[in-house]
């Protein structure tokens, strides 16, 4: 059995992250909610991201001998819950994604991945992005494609005498597109092979000729984030742009359960923020001579919200702990369970917060309505809840 008491170092990380989130992230998020989403949020976010990188947040998984923090998935879960409580979009897109991407380079098992890790360790304020989904391919196909080579991403990677040429488009959902310094792009290196063996990962610096940022997507929430299409027009790459083995993208992805767990931890933060917001309001607002939290209709909602936070957090911590002890179980079962559950709990808590605030819950003046929109974004990002559940079912039944 394991306990869930943070070590002294972990508590220090939590305290640092909480202070940072209060000082740097929360004011920015409040302004974006009140004033509406900035046209280009990145210039506003950049100094915050750089300050977080200075504190080591983006180097969390980089080994200590390379100048990183040598942290565990549990450390990441603790850190990202704090950042997610202040602003889910900023936490998950800039910090969680950038912190987790180097793991892909680490686990891909190639000299090019190791070389990238060293470069990243020296420039931790580098923003990273990952591009799999494409405009004309259902995002779910990446997970559900099975053995048919007709399904899955189509962006082509053609091998040449001295490297690769990539052509095609990535969907307008690519997180950090435009802000990123480098992209991990999934491409079809072998069109006759299915998703599991036909896709490869390429690392492409943002200023590579032929790579452009296309149409932007506006989300219903996450006002400080940026998502856009990537267009690759005969992008010539050296041979060492290939990260890991040719055809090894799916295996490499599966070897990084920290990615969905990190995202899930951000949603624990959101579930907690919605609870704290509702509790604070319920202590102040009075009806028939007493605070509304003393009315059972409200008290029971607060109790449910507190249970939801613990449920989500326990799922995330269990999955994070398994990354050290049983990474296969973490990847196949516990990480998708944690992501699906944390998002469910965040949505439910945001709904309950809207109810606790009554009419004010549906005004833009209070956070409850913003939390609801923010929480729903989690339902489909990094695979829909249903597709995650199907994947869990397949892993349990051995089907597919
Ligand atoms: C905020 C956000 C950030 C994102 N960031 C990135 C990113 O950085 N990089 C990236 O590559 N992508 C990114 N995405 C894309 C994301 O991964 C996809 O949106 C997601 O996987 C769902 O794909 P889709 O939108 O094409 O939905 P679809 O796959 O079209 O699914 C539509 C509906 O059909 C269901 N469905 C589809 N296929 C099946 C099936 N075979 N079996 C059962 N049900 C099915 C789904 O559950 C869903 O309800 C992001 C998306 C969002 C919302």
In DSSP notation, 170-196 reads EEEEEETTTT-SEEEEEEES-TTS-HH
87-102: average pLDDT: 98
381 lines ligand 1 (CB under 6 A): yes
- Euclidean distance between CA atoms 289 and 81, whole angstroms: 36
User: Quick one: pLDDT at residue 112?
Assistant: 95
Report pLDDT for 143: 83
Ligand 1 pocket, residue 174 CB under 6 Å: yes
Render pLDDT for 361-382 as a digit per residue (tens, 0 to 9): 999 999 999 999 999 999 999 9
Domains and CATH numbers, the chain: 8-122 (1.10.540.10), 128-247 (2.40.110.10), 257-397 (1.20.140.10)
Q: What is residue 286's three-state secondary structure?
A: strand
Region at 372 (left for phi over 0; alpha for psi -120 to 50; beta for the rest): alpha
Ligand 1 within 6 A of CB of 226: no
C-alpha 130 – ligand 1 centre gap (Å):
14
Distance 146 CA to ligand 1 centre (A): 16
∠ Cα 31 35 39 (to 5°): 100
**Would the pLDDT of 3 be above 80?**
no
- Ligand 1 atom nearest the C-alpha of 387 is 47
Atom of ligand 1 nearest to the CA of 386: 47
pLDDT at residue number 144: 83
Residue of 88, 139, 182 with the most ligand 1 atoms within 8 Å of its CB, for mutation: 139
Answer yes or no: is pLDDT of 4 > 70: yes
132 lines ligand 1 (CB under 6 A): yes
Check if 175 has its Cβ closer than 6 Å to any atom of ligand 1: yes
**What's the confidence (pLDDT) of residue 400?**
53
Task: For ligand 1, say whether the CB of 308 is within 6 Å of any of its atoms.
Answer: no
Instruction: Give the C-alpha separation, 179 to 211, whole Å.
Output: 13
Helix axes 42-54, 26-35, angle to 10 degrees: 170
- Partnered with residue 245 across adjacent β-strands are none
- Would you state the pLDDT for residue 124? 84
All residues at 6 or more sequence positions from 149 whose CB lies less than 8 Å from its CB, including other chains: 191, 192, 193, 194, 198
Express each pLDDT in 206-247 by its tens digit. Answer: 999 999 999 999 999 999 999 999 999 999 999 999 999 999
Among candidate residues 171, 162, 379, the one with its CA nearest the CA of residue 267: 379
pLDDT value of position 42:
97
Ligand 1 pocket test: which of 381, 383, 385, 391 has the largest number of ligand atoms within 8 Å of its C-beta? 381
| Interatomic CA distance for residues 400 and 391, integer angstroms | 9
Q: Are 90 and 257 in contact (CB under 8 A)?
A: no
Percent of the chain with pLDDT over 70: 99
Q: Which of 173, 385, 389 to mutate to test the pocket of ligand 1 (most atoms within 8 A of CB)?
A: 173
Per-residue tokens: 208? 């590579």
Two structure tokens written together for 238: 């050296």
């Amino acid at each position: 059995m394991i306990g869930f008491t943070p070590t002294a170092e972990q508590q220090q990380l939590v305290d640092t992250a909480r202070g940072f989130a209060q000082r740097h992230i929360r004011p920015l998020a409040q302004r974006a909610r009140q004033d509406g989403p900035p046209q280009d949020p990145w210039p506003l976010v950049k100094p915050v991201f750089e300050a977080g990188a200075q504190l080591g947040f983006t180097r969390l998984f980089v080994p200590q001998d390379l100048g990183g923090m040598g942290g565990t998935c549990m450390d990441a879960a603790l850190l990202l819950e704090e950042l997610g409580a202040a602003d889910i979009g900023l936490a998950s897109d800039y910090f969680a994604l950038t912190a987790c991407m180097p793991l892909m380079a680490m686990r891909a098992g190639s000299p090019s991945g190791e070389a990238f890790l060293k470069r990243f360790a020296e420039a931790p304020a580098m923003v990273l992005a990952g591009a799999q989904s494409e405009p004309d391919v259902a995002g779910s196909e990446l997970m559900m494609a099975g053995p048919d080579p007709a399904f899955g991403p189509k962006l082509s990677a053609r091998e040449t005498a001295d490297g690769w040429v990539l052509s095609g488009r990535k969907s307008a959902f690519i997180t950090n597109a435009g802000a990123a310094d480098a992209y991990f792009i999934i491409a079809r290196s072998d069109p006759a092979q299915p998703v599991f063996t036909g896709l490869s990962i390429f690392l492409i610096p943002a200023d590579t000729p032929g790579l452009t940022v296309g149409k932007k997507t506006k989300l219903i929430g996450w006002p400080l984030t940026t998502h856009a299409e990537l267009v690759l027009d005969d992008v010539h790459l050296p041979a060492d742009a290939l990260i890991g083995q040719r055809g090894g993208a799916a295996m490499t992805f599966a070897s990084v359960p920290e990615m969905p767990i990190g995202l899930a931890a951000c949603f624990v933060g959101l579930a907690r923020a919605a609870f704290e917001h509702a509790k604070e309001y319920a202590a102040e607002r009075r009806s028939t001579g007493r605070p509304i939290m003393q009315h059972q209709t409200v008290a029971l909602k607060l109790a449910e919200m507190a249970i939801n936070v613990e449920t989500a957090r326990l799922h995330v911590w269990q999955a994070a702990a398994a990354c050290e002890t049983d990474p296969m179980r973490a990847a196949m079962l516990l990480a998708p369970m944690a992501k699906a559950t944390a998002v469910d709990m965040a949505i439910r808590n945001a709904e309950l917060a809207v109810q606790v605030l009554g009419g004010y819950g549906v005004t833009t003046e209070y956070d409850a309505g913003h939390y609801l929109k923010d929480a729903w974004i989690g339902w489909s990002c990094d695979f829909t809840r249903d597709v995650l559940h199907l994947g869990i079912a397949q892993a349990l039944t051995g089907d597919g």
